[in-house]
């Protein structure tokens, strides 16, 4: 199957209000669940699954042709990766029960970095709250971007959850509050956009959070 990719789609289009994709098959046991939001070709998840084929890897993507390609590729490689066609901003909490996900990945989440497209950005306070709810206690969020404004918006969304929502919502920045992760890559997987950034010599900002449940 050839990978033919549609141009970016507008996530604010009313066509994305209702979930019309195929829901993911979730593990019924303790298999760790890892989810990439905006996975495109899911290269990152295929790397993860190759390194640890006993996990469950789900990529959410708003471009349906990419989702079809990911699912075809997963069958070809016999790896536990699933692509799900959805608008993650609308459907995350519909697709995953509370406290079900071990790791959420937001790799280069945004084609919408221009100011005029600000409303279309993926990482919002609402998405950060949805992610928090779906994460297991002590679950992780890993964010990578080469766009400074996107990195700042992402940090603001997660860093201020306890203020914007309530004090029980705490995400602990693993590098220290309002800081970027500079240590070794904890995931040993590379998305396509990451590979392109390295090839073109772009800086990549990384942010790493762990969910803390305050009782």
Ligand X SMILES: C[S@@+](CC[C@H](N)C(=O)[O-])C[C@H]1O[C@@H](n2cnc3c(N)ncnc32)[C@H](O)[C@@H]1O
**Binding interface with ligand X (CB under 6 A):** 8, 11, 38-40, 60-63, 87-89, 107-109, 111, 122, 191-194
Taking a C-beta distance cutoff of 8 angstroms, is the pair 102, 48 a contact? no
Name the closest residue to ligand X (Cβ). 38
- Taking the least distance from each CB to ligand X, the nearer of 15 and 168 is 15
Q: Token pair of 40, please?
A: 């495109």
- Taking the least distance from each CB to ligand X, the nearer of 109 and 139 is 109
Taking a C-beta distance cutoff of 8 angstroms, is the pair 99, 134 a contact? yes
Dist CA 174 CA 95 (whole Å)? 27
Choosing from 110, 130, 146, 153, the catalytic residue is: 110
- Taking the least distance from each CB to ligand X, the nearer of 9 and 26 is 9
Dist CA 33 CA 208 (whole Å)? 17
**CB 124, min distance to ligand X, A:** 10
Dist CA 185 CA 151 (whole Å)? 17
- Taking the least distance from each CB to ligand X, the nearer of 64 and 172 is 64
**CB 87, min distance to ligand X, A:** 5
Dist CA 40 CA 54 (whole Å)? 22
**CB 165, min distance to ligand X, A:** 20
**CB 182, min distance to ligand X, A:** 19
Dist CA 75 CA 77 (whole Å)? 5
Verify whether residue 110 is a known catalytic residue. Answer: yes
Nearest to 109 by CA among 48, 150, 65, 66: 150
Helical segments of 5-81, H only: 43-51, 64-77
The catalytic residues are 110
């Amino acid at each position: 199957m050839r990978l033919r990719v549609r141009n970016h789609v507008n996530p604010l289009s009313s066509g994305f209000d209702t979930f019309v994709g195929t829901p993911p098959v979730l593990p019924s046991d303790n298999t760790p669940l890892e989810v990439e939001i905006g996975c495109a070709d899911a290269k990152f998840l295929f790397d993860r699954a190759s390194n640890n084929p006993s996990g469950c890897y789900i990529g959410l993507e708003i471009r349906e042709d990419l989702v079809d390609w990911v699912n075809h590729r997963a069958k070809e490689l016999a790896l536990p990766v699933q692509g799900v066609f959805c608008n993650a901003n609308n459907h995350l909490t519909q697709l995953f029960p509370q406290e079900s996900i071990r790791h959420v990945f937001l790799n280069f989440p945004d084609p919408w970095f221009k100011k005029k497209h600000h409303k279309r950005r993926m990482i919002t306070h609402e998405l950060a709250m949805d992610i928090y709810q779906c994460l297991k206690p002590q679950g992780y969020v890993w964010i990578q971007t080469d766009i400074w404004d996107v990195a700042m918006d992402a940090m603001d969304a997660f860093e201020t959850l306890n203020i914007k929502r309530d004090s029980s919502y705490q995400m602990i920045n693993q590098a220290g509050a309002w800081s970027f992760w500079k240590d070794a890559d904890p995931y040993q997987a590379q998305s396509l956009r990451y590979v392109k950034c390295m090839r073109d010599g772009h800086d990549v900002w990384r942010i790493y959070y762990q969910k803390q449940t305050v009782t």
